[in-house]
Amino acid sequence: MTPPLAHIGHWYHALLYLAPIIIIGGALWWSGRRER
């Protein structure tokens, strides 16, 4: 079986759609923590 990383060119762009969710989620978590 080919390791998924060998096909990174096919799917790396999909991770880019996830990045805003992680960034905003992290920022909100951090903000909520500071407010508490």
Partner 1 sequence: MTPRAARRQVAALLVAVAAALSLPATASAHGIAQRADLPVPEWLFAWAAAFVLLVSFVALAILWPRPVLEQARERLLLRVPGALEVLAGAFGVFAFAAVVYAGFAGTQTATANLAPTVIFVLFWVGIPFLTMFVGDVFAAVSPWRAVGRAAGWLATRVGRAQLPEPLAYPARVGRWPAALGILLFAWVELVYVNRDQPSVLATMAVAYAVVMLVGQSLYGVEAWTRNADAFGVAFGLFARLAPLHWRERHLYLRPVLVGAPRMPTGPGAVAVVCVMIGTTTFDGFSQGAVWLDPNGLAARLTSVFHGLGLGPEAAPQGAYTVGLVVVVLIVAGLYRLGIAGMRTVGRDHTTNDLARRFAHSLIPIALAYVVAHYFSLLAYQGQAIAYLASDPLGNGSNLLGTASATIDYGIVGGTGIWYVQVAALVAGHVAGLTLAHDRALSIWRDPRIATRSQYWMLLVMVTFTCLGLWLLSAASR
Number of helices followed by number of strands (H, E) in the chain: 1, 0
Q: Which is nearer to partner 1, 3 or 16 (CB)?
A: 16
CB of 12 to partner 1, least distance (A): 9
Q: Rule CB under 8 A: is residue 10 a binding residue for partner 1?
A: yes
Q: Which residues contact 4 (CB under 8 A, 6 or more apart)?
A: 11
Q: Rule CB under 8 A: is residue 24 a binding residue for partner 1?
A: yes
CB of 31 to partner 1, least distance (A): 7
